[in-house]
Every structure is written in structure tokens, then in C-alpha cells.
Structure 1
Amino acid sequence: MKTKLKYVWTFLLILTTVSAFSQKINKNFEIKDGHFLLNGKPFSIYSGELHYPRVPSQYWKHRLQMMKAMGLNTVTTYVFWNYHEETPGKWNFSGEKDLQQFIKTAQEVGLYVIIRPGPYVCAEWEFGGYPWWLQNIKGLKIREDNDQFLIETKKYITQLYNQVKDLQITNGGPVIMVQAENEFGSFVSQRKDIPLASHRTYNAKIVKQLKDAGFSVPLFTSDGSWLFEGGSVVGALPTANGEDNVENLKKIVNQYNNNQGPYMVAEFYPGWLGHWAEEFPRVDATTVARQTNKYLKNDVSFNYYMVHGGTNFGFTNGANYDKNHDIQPDLTSYDYDAPITEAGWRTPKYDSLRAVISKHTKAKLPEIPAPIKVIEIKDIQLNKVYNLFNYAAGQEIIKSDKPQSFEELNQGHGYVLYRRHFNQPIKGILDLKGLRDYATIYINGEKVGELNRYYNQYTMPIDIPFNAKLEILVENWGRINYGERINENTKGIISAVKIGDTEITGNWEMTKLPFLNDFASTIKAKPVDEGKQVKLKDVPTVYQGEFDLNEVGDTFIDMQKWGKGVIFVNGKNIGRFWKQGPQQTLYIPGVWLKKGKNEVIIFDQLNETVQTKVSTVKTPILDQLAK
């Protein structure tokens, strides 16, 4: 009897193992006969875009659960090349950059994953995702059929594949699709100087690199429907961005996809991006809900861009370019007026979309996760105050006959202080046409003006006396991520400095101020005595303070009384502020605070008012322009 039972149990174990193995190897996602098929059955993609670098890793699960509770079945994310290749050949996929963990968390929550690796991603992200140092490679031409560039993209795609290969659905993971390039049709329309055949060759080579790396899930492209001619590519499903006309969507996809579907809007905009010094954009919730309903009724798959925007922490924000502004830097907040706010809160827009989706799918949705606790911190005393010029005096000085760009200095982000001593007086119009991007100008430590690429301000009168020092503090405001100038993205002072008709050459000194996360530990200068701090007005100033907490939670630091600069909290650069608005507060995730002692460092480049304290509030201010 025992022997028979042993054989029965062995047989059942083998059967179960074979069944489990069979289920694993049978999992697949494909495009067939004009449909998305998941494990052989028709499937509609209800996706939301969320970028893992814009959300603290401790909050990934919460935000993904918010998406699941809204009725979505998929999360889409860009992968930012420059986020992972920190310096040439040095790759980081750990900690906050753990893409594998993000994908696994999505699977745990019950979401499929779509990856958009570019290599170009746009995304209102610094340089559209490209590493800044690509511009230092001789002969390299970004986003073209260029051997040097394609060597670098292949390295990136190979590294990416090694991270996610086991997470494709064919290997039991949640990754169902991968995008090839991104909005390439827009680039084709902007670069008429490049033959269409060359554009097509480049795009096809990116598809080939993805396939050669080993990606086995379907590939797709993403463009405005009127740009498919330049953006679509053989071997990838064409999808349309922002297309609200279902008939037009089907017509244009049919034209470029063998007269059949499936039909997908890869970027459906429930909100919009925001720039400094411009009104915060709002998109009506009713309009978004009605358009969602239209897609659902017509079997159109979609991806909300963004369902949750998050934050451009540190120096990660990008910028646009147009004819009126040489640069339009993006806000630190990437709230995007999305259904889920920057801090992960539900909105009326979220509730409307949840109701529409649940009515269509007739599925019982999970409970909506509770929001993260919010706290308020009053009157953080700023008891150490430093003159930035004194700080810079303790840093390395690079000498050159002409001002060098950030790239020539091998610096990606932050600030550079340019200095020159004048033995003889000189007077005239200071011309900084090569300014990239924002500068404050000083003579012997006293501010005499500022120049600003956003307002196309490149010149100002200047009067330098005998035996005087000219100092120009320049901020990289974020490299252009979209538009015709993406190939012109060097920073600092990139052409000759002139006063009148005289080109100022010889004896330039440069101090690199990258303001990395270890910024606090690099401060070697002595604090300015309290009685003398009033003299820091209009001088670039670093403030340092400590505060104790009995409890932690999300909060928003209030910068309405400040000028322009960046903030560090417990060593993390939480982003930029500027008095112009519309963003007047910066988001501090509670997971970056701790019970007990905390530190804040604020750098104010303008310092028009000497400060003694700063507070946080429970509600963000994102739509208040300076009067």
C-alpha cells in the first residue's frame, strides 16, 4: 500500500511540475491578426506612465497600487540612459536605480510593464536621457546614423537587456512590450538637413540593436499621427501620441501596419508639463474621462502620460526650446496635473477615471491606498551661513586663456564660477551670447547684474575699475530635451566674452561647483559671523540648518521668500527653486527624513533677502507666478 501511495505521489508531483513548467513557457504576449494577445487571448492595454527615478523607491509600491486601484492593468516607464551610466562605462542599477526591483514590484501588485528605453526619451528629462559626455566624443552625432553614436547606444541597450531579460513575459516576468526610439518623427520633421533615407537607416538600426540584444517581446514606435512617415519603422507596431480621433487613429495605423490594428495611443495626456516663469497647465477632468470612455468603447489601448509624474529631483529636469525663449527649463515638480499628484494623492480626476474604467470592465477594483502621512515643520533655524565665494576659494581652480564650457571642464551639472582679474579699467557692453544658461555678475564681490537665457538677456552695461575682479556665476539650468536645439547642449560660457568690441582673453579662472549630494562635506569655509550676515545681500549664499523630528512624513518646503537655487535635505538634492514660480514649494518625501536630527542646506544664488529660517507646509504651491 505504501509503495502504491509513493508512486501516486511521485506521479502527481511530476504532473504538477510539468504543468507549472508548461504554464511558464506558454506565457506570452504577441501582436497577431490585428490584436494584442496575452497567452493567446485578446487583451487591451490600460496603462499609466510612471517613471521610477521620479519617485523614491520606498514609494514605488504605493504608487503602483494607486494605479491598480484606478483600474489600470499596465505600467509604462521610460528608462533613462544618463541615470544609469553615471560616468563613461560606470553603470548603476542599484538602490534608487534598481530597475529590476521596480519591475518586480509592479508584477507583485498585478501590473504588466511596458519599457520605453529610447535611447532618446524626451520626458522633460535632462538631455532627453542622453549622457552629457556624449558631446565630448569626437565625431559623434546624436540621434543619427553615426558609427560613434551607435557604438554607445549598443553598449546601453546591452546593459539594459542584461537587467531585464529574465523579466520579459516569455521568462515569467511582467514585461510585455518595448519601445524603439521615441517620437522620432518629430526629429525627422525638424532635421530636414538629413535625408529621409538616413533617418530610416538609423531608426532601423536601433530596432536591430534591441532585437540583437535579445528582446523577444513586441516592439513599438510612438509618434504624433501626422509624423508616422518619419517615425514608423519595419518590425515595430506604430502607435499614436495624443490622438483623440479614433477613426483617424485607425486610418493612420492601418496605413503603416498592413491595414490592421491593434490600435494604441501610447501617450494620452491627462495633464501637461510645466516650465518656470509660465502658468501651471491644467487639463479638465471631464474631458479626460470622456476621451477615456471613447477609447474603451472602440477597443483602443492607451497609456496615460502621466498617470503620476513625481519629481525632477536634483539636476534631472530638462528644458524645451522655442523661438521666443532660447530655453524653457522644466519645473522641479513633475506633478503634470496628473490623476495622482506629485505626492501620491488621489484627485477628482483620478476618481472620474476610476469610475469610467470600472464601469467598462465591470471589475471590482482594489481599495484605494491611504495617502502617505503629511507633516509640517515650523521655523527651521539656519544657524550657519556661508559666502559662496569663500566656499569656492577652497576648491580647485582651472586656468585657461578663454572660458571653458562645463563639458570641457568634465562637469555635467550644477554651477561654474568664472573669474578674471583686470589690471586696467574697461567699460562698455558686456556680451555673453554664449551664456548657457543663467548668470549673476559681480565686480569685486558686489553684484552688478544678471543675465538669463530664458528672457534672451545676453548683454548688459559694465564698468570695471582699475585692478578689479570680474566674477560670473553660471548655472546649467537643464539641457534641452526636445526641439531643434537638442544637438546644441553644451553648458557654461561656450563662446567669447566681449566688452564692447574687445574680446576678453587670457587669465581666465574657473571653479567647478557641481553641488553633488556630498555637498555638505565639501564646505571648508568658515560661517559668516551673525552680525556681518547682512552684508551677504545680493551675494550667492549657502545656508545650513538642523531640525529635530519626533515623527516623519511627507512635506513641502516653502520658498516664497527666497530667490533662486537648490536645496539639500539629509544629503539629497531635492531640486531647484526660483522666485518667478509658478512652483513655490519643493516636495520632501518623508522617507528621506528621519526621527531625530535632520539637516537642510539651501543655496540661494540671488540672496536678495538675507534669511534666518525656513518652514515647510502640508499643501504644495505649484501655480503661483511672481507678481
Structure 2
Amino acid sequence: MIDRRQLLRAATLGLATLSLPPLALAAMPGHGGTAAFGWRGQNFLLHGKPLVIRGGEMHIGRIPRAHWRARLRMLRAMGLNTVGTYLFWNLHEPRPGRFDFEGQNDIAAFVRIAQEEGVWVILRPGPYACAEWEFGGFPAWLLKTPDLRVRTNDPRFVAAATRYLEAVGGQLAPLQIHRGGPILMTQVENEYGSFGSDHGYLASIRDALRAAGFDGLLYTADGPTERMLGGGTLPDVLATVNFGDDAAGSFAAFARHRQGVPRMAGEFYPGWFDHWGERHHTAADPARVARNLQWMLERDISFSLYMFHGGTSFGFMNGANDSATEPYQPDTSSYDYGAPLDEAGRPTPAFHALRALIGGHLPAGETLPVVPPSPPMIAIAPVTLDASAPLQSLLGEPVRAVRPLTMEALDQAYGFVWYRARLPAAGKGVLQVGDVRDMALLYQDGRRLGTLDRRRGDTALELEVQAGVPLDLLVENLGRINYGPRMVDERKGLLGPVRFAGKPVLDWEMHPLPLDDLSALRFSPGTPAAPAFHRGRFVLDALGDSFIDMRGWGRGHVWINGHHLGRYWHIGPQQTLLVPAQWLRRGENEVVVLELERDAPPLRVQGLVDPVFETPDVVQG
């Protein structure tokens, strides 16, 4: 995702001029028989005739599979003809060499549904996605190799990325337009000019895509600055430009880089995403969005709205930002984005406004489809959580090492690690750590001593401790950085060295807590002190999406019938968690809440038909 502050300067920068020869067009099988897709001059050509791509972005990892078709029908109803979608490598290769393209991860099924609904597809396979997704989509196991550098020509990274893209090609190369599918274009890497300018690396990703069978049209997408377009493009690959405002200025900057090629906004932003502890982003200024979109429509310029529908970063899949000018900022589980289609898939006022605008610029003979009904919503009645289990009950046999190991060194991707060590002294002293990634709760003998919070830059804390009693640190991964140069070393857990009162703390015990399976929990009446799980059961006779209201709770996670909804945090702005109807069932249901901070939580939740976004005045957790 391009930084808006960088975009504000885009139109004033001079860019090198580079022109590309038009691509050869060939007869290609597509919808309804023969099709041809390519470009000549400033036009994309489909069936030999100009095509304006009116696109919108959605991600299958953020939308339950049962909703894919409904969301695509909403996209068509707004007047769009193309869906853009990232692939997230960490979903499709959770372990090295073990690929998952089934069920929720069946990207080929999504592409086929798009074709059935008359929607073209722009494929964005990465290997890097950004997208406010955990580690930009990279699998955490890459970081198990201590000095591996992502997004570089490090041969170990390129080999892993090539293997992944080959697997993607096996699923999706047959669905390119010239082979009978709806995929018009495939992106090479993603916004690489915002990260670097190693054209050798970029070419290696292009070559990996070609070798994987993506022999159709390739393209790149970057922001409209000399650094971004210069660093992120290749001479033989079509380029597009990303921006959130000033379409005229952005394309003027792009023209100083390339001419005689189709103009396309690879990403045009009608909204924005949220960080914990900050104000909620609603839809962008309607007048600005309409002004820029109308400018493009009047000139037959292609575009893709990022996002048309954001959805939810379920489980531990949210990303984070960190830069030289901003502290570590984890993203919320909600990816509502202020998009035209809200988190639950319902049209917003922006949807109807943009639909009217697009409807006024349709080609002759094309009409807007009727807007489908919104998905049903239910308000789940209040549920009492009357059984609990301490988090410590999940601790098994520890891993032992002289110094603390990172989460990746423990062969763990997400969740928590429980660190334990005996301190070299008693009484008052300062505990110093190399770094904490990202939040550590400190305990001794069950008594909470304090918090180390990466958002505040905490690396030291004054403690008063007892002799002979171990110190416990519960460290949570709040989401790996997904954008910028700091993502290359985004290992999680407790990073050493650790010292107390000036003396090294050695001989650690570590308990991985990925929380991907809660079946070992044994619930009983009573309310143990945090951190603890709390369980409740409820009965439904009708199904629909709902939003679980977590106001009054502190910080933690929620599961419904074993499905991990995501993170809640009283600092906001997100105060509710989306529950997809597909994860509920008629009859008895189960909700489990992990509360990390509050010893006396309300032990009660309920479902609402609308989300709640509130940011309390105190934004530090």
C-alpha cells in the first residue's frame, strides 16, 4: 500500500521518459468463444476493441468462501467489470513445500466463479502483497533462516518464491484469458519501487512467473514518483500507477516516465485502513473520490478501486506499519477500509454514489445490473460465559536454551510465546531486553508486574522481584510489518540479550502458544485471573452474519465454533468482530474469549447487526 504522504509529492517530481512498443495481439479463447486481450497505444484491446477496465479489489482470505459469489455480484452491480485480487503466500504454503489450494484457499474456484458472474480478473500473486496482511503475505518460516532477506536477489528467497509461483501457476495459468479463463493480467511483485530498485530481483520474479506458465500480459503497479516508478518497473512489462488523489497530476507524472501505453490506476483509494489506538477511517471525501473517478471515466482511463470490499483479516492475519517517522502500528482485524461494500458485504452510501457515477459513463448498450439484496444479519442475544480455563493450562514441555529464542526459531508462525527464566538478583532492578515483538506481559508467581509495549518503544522496565521465583513474560505477535524496509527483519518474540540489574539473564524455558488448536482446554466454573479463556454457549434458530460486541473487555481474541475471529482491544477503534453466518450453526454454538489483561471481565457478549468503531480518549493499552 502506497503511503499517502509520498503521493502528495508525486505530481511535482520529474520522471525519466520510457516508451514501450505495443504488444502483439493474438486470437485468444475467452468468454463466448474467441477473444484477444492486449494493448495498442493507449488502449487495452479485448476482442480487438478498446476495453476500459473498471476494477475493484477483494481478497479471498478476507471473505468466507460461501460469500464469494455474492460479493462478485455486488461488484457487477456497482458497474465494475473486473476484480483484482492478491494471493497471500502464507495461506497457500504454510509449511515449506506443503501447498494448500483447498476450501477457503481455493483461488481457482474464486476465479471460475468470477467468470461465471461475467467478471474479468486481474491476478496479483506476489510473492509480496503488502495489503495490511501479516508480513505482506510472506510465510513466517522464511525468517527461520537467520540472515535471509526477503524481496532481494538472495538466492534462498528467490528459490522459495519461484517454487511458490510455480505452484500458483499450476492452479491459475490455465485460467488466463488465452486459455479460456477470465484472467486478463498478472502482476509482477507489488509496489517494488516503494521498497527498492533492484531490477535484477524484479526480473527474477518476472521470469519465475513466465516459467510458471503466466504467458499472458504482465504488469507492475507503483506510486507516481520518480523513485517508485523508476525502481519498480521493467522495460518489457506494462506499468500502472497507484494513488489516492490528484488523478491528473499522477498521470502527468506517469507520462514523464512512459508514453504511448494504456493509462491505468492500478490502485485508486476510496478509503483507508485502521491501526489500533487511532481514529476509524470512514469512506474518503466523496467529492474527492467522485472528482478523480469522473476525470478517469471521461478519458477512458482504466482503474481498480482499492478496496471495493475489504472484509476481515481473521485470526492472526493483520499486518502492521513501522517506519523511521512512525512507531510500530499494528492493524485492526477489521479491514472495512471505508470501502463501497462494508465489512459484512452491504452497500454503503459510497457504493450508490459511485454506481450512479459509473452508470453515467457506460459504453453504449451496457446497463447496470440490479443491486442484489444485502446478506442477512442477526443480533445474537446476550451470552453468559460461565466456564473458564487459565492460559497457563496450555503450557507443555518447554524448549530450553541459554538465551531466549525468537518465535521463528521455535518453528512457530503466529500467536504467543511464554518465556520463563530465573533472575540473577532479587529486589529492585531494571529489566532490559534487546527488543520485544510486540507486547509482553510480565509476571512473577502469578502477580502481574508490568508491560513492555513495542508501540511505545519499550525495552526496559523497573521491577521489584522475589528471590528464587521465576520471571514469566507472555509475548504476543501483534502482526508482522507488511510495508517498507523494516519488514526484512521482522522476527517475533523476545529478542535478546536480556539483563536484570546489569547482569545477564540466562537459561530460558520457552512454551510456544500458537493457539491454532484449543481442544486441550478444560473449562470449569470460576474466573481465574488474566490471562484466561472464558467460554459460553448459545442456541440459534436462524443464521446470518453478526458482529460480536466486545466493549467492556480489555484485550484478547475470540473464537466462534473453533473459528478464530480475530483480535479485540479496548483502545479501539474496532469494538466488534464480524461473525460470518457460515461459521454459525442452528442449535448450539460455542464462543471462547481469551482475555489477556482484565481479571474481572464482563463475562458476557452479544451480537449486533452493525459494527461499532470507537476510540477512547486514552489510546495506550
Counterpart of 1:14? none
Match 2:374 to one of 353, 371, 374: 371
Q: 1:265 is matched by which residue type in structure 2?
A: A
Match 2:588 to one of 593, 597, 600: 597
Contact 1:583-1:625 within 8 A present in 2 as well? no
Q: What's the TM-score once normalised by structure 2's chain length?
A: 0.91
Matched, 1:215 2:234: no
Pair 420,137 (structure 1): closer, same or farther in 2 beyond 3 Å: closer
Contact 2:30-2:182 within 8 A present in 1 as well? no
Q: How does 1:66-465 map to 2 (within 5 A)?
A: 66-137=74-145, 140-188=148-196, 196=197, 199-226=198-225, 227-242=228-243, 244-257=245-258, 259-282=259-282, 283-323=284-324, 325-361=326-362, 363-392=366-395, 395-422=396-423, 425-465=426-466
1:284-336 superposed Cα distances (whole Å, 9 cap, x missing partner) = 22221221111100121100000100000001110000345541101100000
1-side partners of 2:133 and 2:576: how far apart? 20
SS in 2 for 1:480: coil
2-side partners of 1:22 and 1:498: how far apart? 65
Q: Which runs of 5+ in 2 are unaligned?
A: 1-26
1:28-64 superposed Cα distances (whole Å, 9 cap, x missing partner) = 2112233200111110000000001100000001111
1:6-46 superposed Cα distances (whole Å, 9 cap, x missing partner) = xxxxxxxxxxxxx9989877322112233200111110000
2-side partners of 1:371 and 1:522: how far apart? 39
Q: 1:514 is matched by which residue type in structure 2?
A: P
Give the deviation of 1:84 after TM superposition. Answer: 0.3
Match 1:581 to one of 572, 584, 606: 572
Give the deviation of 1:579 after TM superposition. Answer: 0.8
Poorly superposed stretches of 4+, deviation over 3 Å: 19-26, 243-257, 323-326, 421-424, 623-627
2-side partners of 1:526 and 1:242: how far apart? 50
Give the deviation of 1:211 after TM superposition. Answer: 1.5
Q: 1:93 is matched by which residue type in structure 2?
A: F
Counterpart of 1:522? 520
Counterpart of 1:554? 545
Matched, 1:543 2:534: yes
SS in 1 for 2:297: helix
Pair 139,331 (structure 1): closer, same or farther in 2 beyond 3 Å: closer
Matched, 1:41 2:49: yes
Counterpart of 1:569? 560
Counterpart of 2:6? none
1:319-378 superposed Cα distances (whole Å, 9 cap, x missing partner) = 000345541101100000000000001111000000000011163211111111111122
Give the deviation of 1:142 after TM superposition. Answer: 1.0
SS in 2 for 1:303: strand
2-side partners of 1:347 and 1:526: how far apart? 41
Q: What's the TM-score once normalised by structure 1's chain length?
A: 0.90
Contact 1:225-1:243 within 8 A present in 2 as well? no
Alignment length, in residue pairs? 587
2-side partners of 1:271 and 1:243: how far apart? 9
Give the deviation of 1:388 after TM superposition. Answer: 1.4
1:97-152 superposed Cα distances (whole Å, 9 cap, x missing partner) = 01011001111111000001111110000101111111223653211112111111
Contact 1:238-1:256 within 8 A present in 2 as well? no
Counterpart of 1:3? none
SS in 1 for 2:236: coil
2-side partners of 1:326 and 1:407: how far apart? 23
Q: 1:436 is matched by which residue type in structure 2?
A: R
Contact 2:422-2:505 within 8 A present in 1 as well? no
1-side partners of 2:354 and 2:403: how far apart? 56
Identical residues among aligned pairs (%): 39
Cα RMSD, aligned residues only: 1.9
1:407-449 superposed Cα distances (whole Å, 9 cap, x missing partner) = 1100000001111235852431112341000011111011111
2-side partners of 1:306 and 1:360: how far apart? 21
SS in 2 for 1:87: coil
Counterpart of 2:616? 625
2-side partners of 1:25 and 1:359: how far apart? 29
1:183-218 superposed Cα distances (whole Å, 9 cap, x missing partner) = 111102xxxxxxx5xx01111111111112221221
Pair 432,69 (structure 1): closer, same or farther in 2 beyond 3 Å: same
Larger Rg: 1
Contact 1:74-1:112 within 8 A present in 2 as well? yes
SS in 2 for 1:615: strand
**Which is further off, 56-65 or 131-140?**
131-140
Counterpart of 2:473? 472
Give the deviation of 1:166 after TM superposition. Answer: 1.6
**Which is further off, 297-306 or 463-472?**
463-472
2-side partners of 1:502 and 1:415: how far apart? 26
Contact 2:135-2:479 within 8 A present in 1 as well? yes
2-side partners of 1:509 and 1:22: how far apart? 59
Q: Which runs of 5+ in 1 are unaligned?
A: 1-18, 189-195
SS in 1 for 2:488: coil
Pair 82,20 (structure 1): closer, same or farther in 2 beyond 3 Å: closer
1-side partners of 2:481 and 2:267: how far apart? 20
